[in-house]
């Protein structure tokens, strides 16, 4: 549960930061000729009534010490005055970047659940740091805020069901091909070279289709490898490689068949071999392009 929540947060981190930056910027005074702490706390009080799903609001001085007790809707959370938070990432990153920042998820000291902290530095008219305002919010609450609309959510669920059905059909085809390959190899009265070739082709195609179905399940149903482009490329290479192997075996079987029959039909075997060669060249170009793109992006 935590891993999925963290992954979803990382995928939508920019939305969460944009939202937190918006509500803090809209409510807090910044870069004014004279900024008093009372006006900052008044703004926080207004913010506390506007944003109902926060855990804590607090203000740090330029050295990182908490100025007053935490503002919270729960009385047991209203503590922390004088606490040194200068070593917290959300403090020194906000001071260094001079803008609103959003921390990584971490266990909260208030309730031991995962939370994130948005911190915003407040400057005066001379661009001197006056304080840093922080707001803590549970990770699940952030995810509720940034989640997609209801229609988009149901459409995503519908797409996952459709992809699962397609993958299930591909898996059934894999089972039929595997059964055909095993039957043609072991349950015949006499084993011939042609039967061995047919069995090899069926098993190879079964492997390729199973790999494709597995990738569809992982990518579109379980949402495991959305950002791992190399996983998609490896699947493409394995699938195309299996198809090329099956076609090459078919061409070899056709050559054996024509050697003992009509040599005038050998031209079709040559066409098939040329087609396999073209596929190999295309796969080589694809691999080179993928490798070149990876090296270019890493540079």
**pLDDT for 50-65, tens place per residue?**
777 888 899 999 999 9
pLDDT attached to residue 135: 92
Show me where the domains of the chain are located: 2-146, 150-298
pLDDT attached to residue 206: 86
CB 59 within 8 A of CB 134: yes
pTM to 2 decimal places = 0.56
pLDDT attached to residue 294: 60
Output phi, psi for 257, to 5 deg.
-70, -40
pLDDT attached to residue 270: 83
Return d(Cα 171, Cα 212) in angstroms, integer: 9
Structural class in CATH, domain 2-146: alpha beta
* Mean pLDDT split into 10-residue runs, the chain, 299 residues: 75 86 86 81 83 85 90 83 89 90 88 89 88 90 74 78 91 90 72 72 83 82 61 72 80 73 73 87 84 57
Query: Quick one: CA dihedral 83, 86, 89, 90, positive or negative?
Result: positive
Mark out the alpha helices in 132-265 (DSSP H runs).
139-146, 150-186, 193-216, 229-259
In terms of phi and psi (left: phi > 0; alpha: psi -120 to 50; beta: otherwise), the region of 182 is alpha
């Amino acid at each position: 549960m935590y891993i999925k929540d963290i992954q979803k947060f990382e995928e939508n981190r920019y939305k969460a930061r944009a939202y937190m930056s918006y509500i803090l910027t809209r409510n807090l005074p910044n870069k004014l000729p004279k900024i008093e702490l009372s006006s900052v706390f008044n703004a926080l009080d207004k913010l506390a009534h506007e944003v109902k799903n926060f855990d804590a609001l607090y203000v740090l001085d330029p050295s990182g010490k908490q100025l007053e007790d935490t503002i919270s809707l729960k009385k047991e959370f209203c503590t922390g005055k004088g606490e040194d938070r200068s070593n917290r990432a959300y403090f020194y990153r906000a001071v260094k970047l001079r803008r609103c920042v959003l921390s990584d998820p971490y266990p909260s000291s208030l309730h031991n659940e995962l939370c994130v902290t948005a911190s915003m530095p407040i400057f005066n008219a001379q661009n001197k740091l006056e304080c840093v305002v922080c707001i803590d919010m549970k990770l699940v609450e952030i995810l509720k805020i940034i989640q997609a609309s209801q229609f988009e959510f149901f459409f995503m669920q519908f797409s996952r069901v459709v992809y699962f059905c397609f993958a299930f059909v591909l898996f059934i085809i894999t089972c039929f091909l595997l059964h055909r390959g095993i039957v043609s190899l072991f349950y015949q009265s006499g084993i011939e070279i042609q039967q061995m070739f047919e069995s090899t082709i069926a098993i190879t195609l079964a492997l390729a289709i199973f790999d494709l179905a597995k990738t569809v399940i992982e990518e579109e149903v379980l949402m495991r490898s959305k950002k791992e482009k190399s996983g998609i490329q490896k699947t493409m290479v394995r699938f195309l490689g299996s198809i090329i192997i099956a076609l090459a075996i078919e061409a070899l079987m056709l050559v054996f068949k024509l050697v003992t029959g009509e040599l005038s039909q050998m031209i079709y075997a040559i066409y098939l071999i040329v087609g396999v060669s073209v596929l190999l060249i295309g796969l080589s170009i694809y691999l080179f392009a993928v490798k070149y793109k990876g090296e270019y992006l890493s540079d």
